[in-house]
């Protein structure tokens, strides 16, 4: 490095200062998402990562990308600390250690590895590599977190663009295609600032943003002939520390009955949140029968989250996190994608052998629901139900749309995460599922944020955090399929694979060894 280099160039090529700058750039990216929604920061953050990595050797590029990921997950997933410290009854030191380890693991897998590959493999460099290979690798990093260790598809940068022209790409290729567009916009911005391939960069930006704006005018799905459905979401705001206390059961039940009493006659669908019943389904039959009878008498349907227990003897018990339809329509759904350690123990069989006194059924012993379950029926429409973080998996949700779902439903218990970013992020991801599939969505939570979302991902009505209230409104059922609903994320992944292959071919063709 020469002393005549500008300060910004010295920062990119330096060691510790460059790594610190990468961590700060990563910390910017969650600010582009809910609740702040400062979406330009996502583009700037991607541009900074591309600039800070530059032409570094593989090991240095991996370390710098790791620092970027560490900054991103430390800020964006800080709510993990809130859950462990406030409700896991763990010390701040232990909660902080677990949160830091979580951030480091995902930074290593989703950033260090892809950007090590970028510098290690013969991929195109220069403006071409920046404009095409960089966004392809970005999508690869986000795709990895969609399935690795059962998946943690949080903080995908495309979520920040629900209300920008780029949103038009969501029904075409899903949130991963939006992330590609954001990363490519950042790369194009960097090209413009560095004076490299400016015409190409401007053309890329025109296609991304102009094309997205035009796609926003396309109606991929159509409203059905039926009248809009009248829906009410009951948010009882039961404190999580009291929810499972036996002494609180009657009071909790009374809250739900009181809040729901004036709703039955005026609404076709009433939604109670995940685990709304503070007891097993088998032990709550009386309340459920009463609620079901009331709903049936008024021609409405109750959709309620509940824990279901199957089996006659304790040693044969099987537990399911479920959603039940009661009243005018009946049915149930068992959660398919469980939360590790929260709802099941990985390697439970071996843990029982090694630690025989550990009762895994009591701690986290839920069973996985069947892969293809019947859709729930309500108000004459098929409804695709999802519980808690199932809604954050794009390709899991779109499967039900192909099977004929007219509405999407998600119930959740976000009270575990306090007034952190998490409830806002969770709602934003649910909104993206509505936009991707062209389906209105019902979101019922215990402590917020409950919401009615239209088929374009826009909020029709929503609640506030930690407030007892009822949200009501009308949503229209939709027919037809978006391109994403038909094909899922596969076309976007194939596009990225093709770009990586082309980048490799270009690099090999231009090396002296290849032309000799």
- In angstroms, rounded to a whole number, what is the distance separating the alpha carbons of residues 269 and 247? 30
Task: Say if CB 506 and CB 133 are below 8 A apart.
Answer: no
Report how far Cα 127 is from the mean position of its chain's Cα atoms. Answer: 32
Segments making up each domain of the chain, as ranges? 7-219+489-515, 223-336+371-481
E strands, 417-480, in order: 440-445, 451-453, 459-462, 469-475, 478-479
Annotation marks residue 274 as catalytic: yes
Rounded to the nearest angstrom, the gap between the alpha carbon of residue 350 and the centroid of all alpha carbons in its chain is 31
Structure tokens that stand for 164 in this block: 């920008």
What does DSSP say about strands 469-475 and 229-235: parallel, antiparallel, or unpaired? Answer: antiparallel
List 67, 109, 335, 390, catalytic entry:
335
C-beta pairs of 202-210 under 8 Å, 24+ apart in sequence:
204/131, 208/166, 208/181, 208/184, 209/165, 209/166, 209/185, 210/165
Interval 501-514: pLDDT, tens: 998 887 777 765 54
pLDDT level of residue 410 (50, 70, 90 thresholds): very high
223-336+371-481 CATH pick, 3.60.110.10, 3.40.50.2000, 3.50.50.60, 3.30.365.10: 3.60.110.10
Confidence of residue 362 (pLDDT cuts 50, 70, 90): very low
- Catalytic site residue 243? no
Which residues, in sequence order, are CB contacts of 385 under 8 Å at separation 6+?
303, 323, 333, 375, 376, 409, 410, 411
Catalytic residue among 142, 274, 367, 390: 274
Q: Is 83 helix (H, G, I), strand (E, B) or coil?
A: helix
Per the annotation, the verdict on 335 as an active-site residue is yes
Residue 424, pLDDT > 60, answer: yes
Among the listed residues 308, 388, 390, 413, the single catalytic one is 388
What local confidence, expressed as pLDDT, does residue 361 receive?
43
pLDDT of residue 357 exceeding 80? no
Give the per-residue pLDDT at 360: 44
- The pLDDT tens digits of the residues spanning 85-114 come to 876 656 888 889 889 999 999 999 999 999
- State yes or no: pLDDT of 516 exceeds 70: no
The structure's pTM equals 0.93
What per-residue confidence (pLDDT) applies to 95?
84
Assigned token pair, 342? 């929260």
């Amino acid at each position: 490095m020469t002393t005549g280099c500008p300060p910004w160039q010295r920062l990119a090529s330096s060691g510790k200062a460059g790594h610190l700058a990468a961590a700060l750039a990563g910390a910017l990216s969650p600010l582009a998402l809910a609740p702040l929604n400062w979406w330009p920061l996502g583009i700037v953050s991607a541009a900074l990562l591309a600039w800070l990595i530059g032409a570094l050797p593989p090991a240095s590029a991996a370390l710098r990308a790791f620092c970027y990921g560490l900054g991103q997950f430390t800020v964006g997933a800080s709510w993990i600390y809130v859950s462990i410290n406030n409700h896991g009854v763990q010390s701040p030191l232990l909660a902080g250690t677990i949160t830091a380890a979580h951030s480091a693991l995902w930074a290593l897998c989703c950033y260090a590895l892809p950007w090590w590959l970028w510098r290690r493999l013969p991929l195109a460099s220069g403006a071409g590599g920046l404009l095409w290979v960089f966004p392809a690798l970005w999508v690869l990093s986000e795709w990895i977190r969609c399935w690795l260790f059962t998946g943690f598809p949080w903080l995908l940068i495309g979520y920040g663009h629900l209300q920008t022209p780029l949103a038009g790409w969501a029904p075409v290729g899903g949130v991963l295609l939006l992330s590609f567009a954001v990363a490519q916009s950042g790369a194009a911005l960097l090209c413009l600032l560095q004076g490299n391939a400016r015409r190409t960069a401007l053309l890329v930006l025109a296609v991304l943003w102009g094309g997205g704006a035009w796609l926003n005018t396309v109606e991929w799905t159509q409203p059905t002939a039926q009248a809009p459905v009248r829906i009410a979401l009951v948010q009882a705001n039961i404190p999580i520390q009291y929810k499972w206390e036996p002494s609180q059961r009657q009071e909790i039940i009374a809250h739900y009955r009181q809040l729901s009493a004036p709703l039955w006659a005026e609404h076709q669908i009433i939604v109670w949140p995940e685990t709304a019943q503070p007891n097993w389904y088998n032990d709550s039959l009386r309340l459920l029968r009463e609620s079901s009878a009331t709903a049936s008498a008024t021609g409405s349907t109750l959709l309620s989250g509940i824990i279901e227990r199957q089996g006659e003897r304790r040693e044969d018990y099987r537990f399911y996190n479920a959603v039940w339809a009661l009243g005018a329509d009946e049915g149930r759904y068992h959660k398919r994608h469980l939360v590790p350690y929260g709802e099941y123990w990985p390697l439970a069989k071996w843990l029982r052998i090694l630690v025989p006194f550990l009762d895994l059924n009591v701690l986290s012993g839920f069973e996985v629901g069947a892969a293809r379950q019947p859709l729930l029926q309500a108000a004459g429409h098929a409804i695709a139900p999802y519980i808690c973080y199932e809604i954050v998996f794009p390709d899991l949700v779109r499967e039900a749309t192909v099977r004929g779902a007219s509405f999407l439903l998600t119930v959740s218990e976000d009270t575990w995460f306090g007034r952190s970013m998490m409830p806002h992020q969770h709602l934003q991801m649910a909104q993206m599922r509505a936009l991707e599939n062209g389906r209105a969505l019902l979101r019922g939570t215990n402590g917020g944020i409950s919401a009615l979302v239209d088929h374009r991902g826009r909020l029709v009505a929503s609640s506030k955090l930690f407030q007892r209230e009822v949200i009501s409104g009308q949503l229209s059922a939709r027919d037809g399929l978006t391109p994403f609903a038909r094909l899922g994320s596969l076309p976007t992944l194939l596009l990225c694979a093709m770009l990586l292959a082309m980048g490799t071919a270009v690099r090999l063709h231009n090396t002296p060894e290849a032309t000799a």
